[in-house]
Structure 1
């Protein structure tokens, strides 16, 4: 199709991400379905230098670092009909005016869920083998622990409690299916039949916490989930249990979690914390029962291409007159990440 007949598109994000989101082979594919300047990446919609191209843009291809899109931006983009986000959540940077104007919105949140779920699976498997605790012991003693010390180690029949049937949570449930775990699920927005179909035993949150060897958190950060794991609920976890958080630190009371971890009663694998990053003197950096990573479970490095590919797929669908595959609807935002 001649370039003049392709929809005009405009990148809006931190330009440092562009080469990883859209490497050359993917950029070529994108430019066969959209008229886009690969050298132009908007950081400020108010910049007079981009007024002309913004006025002609039909598609905004956004990513991390995109400036907020509000009514003022939309007035300068009269031809805009879709916002396609090469990242996860669109909450916080899309104004209600986007929905009021009826723009199509898409997100690569499903693609971004995949590496998070993979991290969670790895964390669960290592937790069941007490890999991190035994590593610390091996570091100190430099000998293999005696057989008696390994009696409680292993993944056979261990109960894993999943909090949240989000996109990540559902993918974790899929990945756990081949293993001989007993899987429990808490999610207030799904019924028991759906939980069973997902391969899990539905349980109330308190019961899940009290009966799970490993708890993996996958709920969205919403007002309803803020500090959902407080002192009382963390105290329900059995001695020796492992808590995994790849969701958001705000879902957990940081002081209560710190108290439990300093006591050594439970262990944790934390990719997210509250605050983030932690202050330099936080005990979590040094506790032997804490495995801490710097918010790396989501898409990084070569995984970013998967997000760009999701956007290109949506551009091609729009060009073909087909509906978006990963459309985001305003009503979904209240209960999603």
Structure 2
């Protein structure tokens, strides 16, 4: 297929992101090929002209009832990260293909993580919080430094691999736990594979990048936290459910030497007054590691490029299937 094939691309991204993700540039690129129409999964009637649907943050789940109103749908282009909240079993049952911009979103998360690793090894957040509490200067203590540090990665998916590549530029030892990663892949990334206990116990900074599912729920709890070395840092930019928050509060209360930086929590958002907001060795950020602001445009750019491949009959670069989805965040 090429040119204008006489069918439409529907978009149902939430209003908050409809222009920051699908920018004028992205919309122009799509309209150069096909018609672009808005589709509301909750209220619109049957649209038999829509063969591609662009989803994203704010999109309602694509249930069987929704798909009944899109009888010609062949492809879902998810202009965001995880498709878990949008793609249902009905999508796979009908043979609809799915592509996701998770790799574009991963860039922002990896950059955020990389920055937090450096800040943690410089003890930035603890010193800043201590200065605020003291209302003045505090001693320059607890600065581990970057050279020679050991960083532990839990998960070598899109984000974990990007973080490993960024860390490879420095004099660091990088350990990784991922039951699905092979030695050749690890060697190519410059990381050493180990079991979870070993990675936790040897890491100056432990950063989580695993998917959240039944097998990884609360994979970091009391026993695992107790393995963390003195003066180490826990980073979580993956999913809040990976960490048992009750255990984390208890642990941070008795192990003041360990610091936690949490960009995701369970639940998300934490209720006002939660202990993690008050602890001097914890920093909670409101899920900002992923693509926000001007970074959101790269998600739309990826979706538009993937659409061109589909129209031209070329292989998709970012297609996922049901089996692969089970291993992703």
Instruction: Please indicate, yes or no, whether the TM-score normalized by the shorter chain is above 0.5.
Output: yes
Aligned residue among 212, 235, 257 for 2:226: 235
SS in 2 for 1:247: coil
User: How far off its partner does 1:131 sit?
Assistant: 0.9
Cα distance in structure 1, aligned partners of 2:67 and 2:269: 34
User: How far off its partner does 1:189 sit?
Assistant: 0.5
Structure 1 residue aligned with 2:136: 142
Is residue 64–residue 87 contact of structure 1 (8 Å, CA) maintained in 2? yes
Cα distance in structure 1, aligned partners of 2:185 and 2:3: 47
Structure 2 residue aligned with 1:167: 158
Structure 2 residue aligned with 1:123: 116
Cα distance in structure 2, aligned partners of 1:6 and 1:29: 16
Matched, 1:55 2:35: no
SS in 2 for 1:59: strand
SS in 2 for 1:91: coil
Cα distance in structure 2, aligned partners of 1:141 and 1:12: 48
Structure 2 residue aligned with 1:25: 25
User: How far off its partner does 1:234 sit?
Assistant: 0.6
Cα distance in structure 2, aligned partners of 1:2 and 1:110: 26
Structure 2 residue aligned with 1:16: 16
Is residue 6–residue 33 contact of structure 1 (8 Å, CA) maintained in 2? no
User: How far off its partner does 1:93 sit?
Assistant: 2.5
Is residue 13–residue 42 contact of structure 1 (8 Å, CA) maintained in 2? no
TM-score w.r.t. the length of structure 2 is: 0.94
TM-score w.r.t. the length of structure 1 is: 0.92
What's the CA shift string for 1:185-243, capped at 9, x where partnerless? 00001122321221111111001111111100000111110010111011010121100
Structure 2 residue aligned with 1:217: 208
Unaligned runs of 5+ in 2: none
User: What is the total number of aligned residue pairs between the two structures?
Assistant: 327
Is residue 2–residue 312 contact of structure 2 (8 Å, CA) maintained in 1? no
Is residue 3–residue 35 contact of structure 1 (8 Å, CA) maintained in 2? no
Q: Which stretch of structure 1 is more off in the superposition, 87-96 or 76-85?
A: 87-96
Structure 2 residue aligned with 1:253: 244
Cα distance in structure 2, aligned partners of 1:185 and 1:290: 23
Cα distance in structure 2, aligned partners of 1:11 and 1:333: 22
The structure with more helix, counted as a fraction of residues:
1
Matched, 1:132 2:125: yes
User: How far off its partner does 1:22 sit?
Assistant: 1.4
Cα distance in structure 1, aligned partners of 2:215 and 2:234: 20
Matched, 1:295 2:293: no
Is residue 23–residue 305 contact of structure 1 (8 Å, CA) maintained in 2? yes
Q: Which stretch of structure 1 is more off in the superposition, 23-32 or 181-190?
A: 23-32
Map 1:176-195 → 2, pairs under 5 A? 176-195=167-186
Is residue 7–residue 33 contact of structure 1 (8 Å, CA) maintained in 2? no
User: How far off its partner does 1:155 sit?
Assistant: 0.9
Structure 1 residue aligned with 2:320: 328
Cα distance in structure 1, aligned partners of 2:310 and 2:171: 43
Cα distance in structure 1, aligned partners of 2:116 and 2:275: 21
Is residue 225–residue 251 contact of structure 1 (8 Å, CA) maintained in 2? yes
Q: Which stretch of structure 1 is more off in the superposition, 158-167 or 287-296?
A: 287-296
* Alpha-carbon RMSD: 1.9
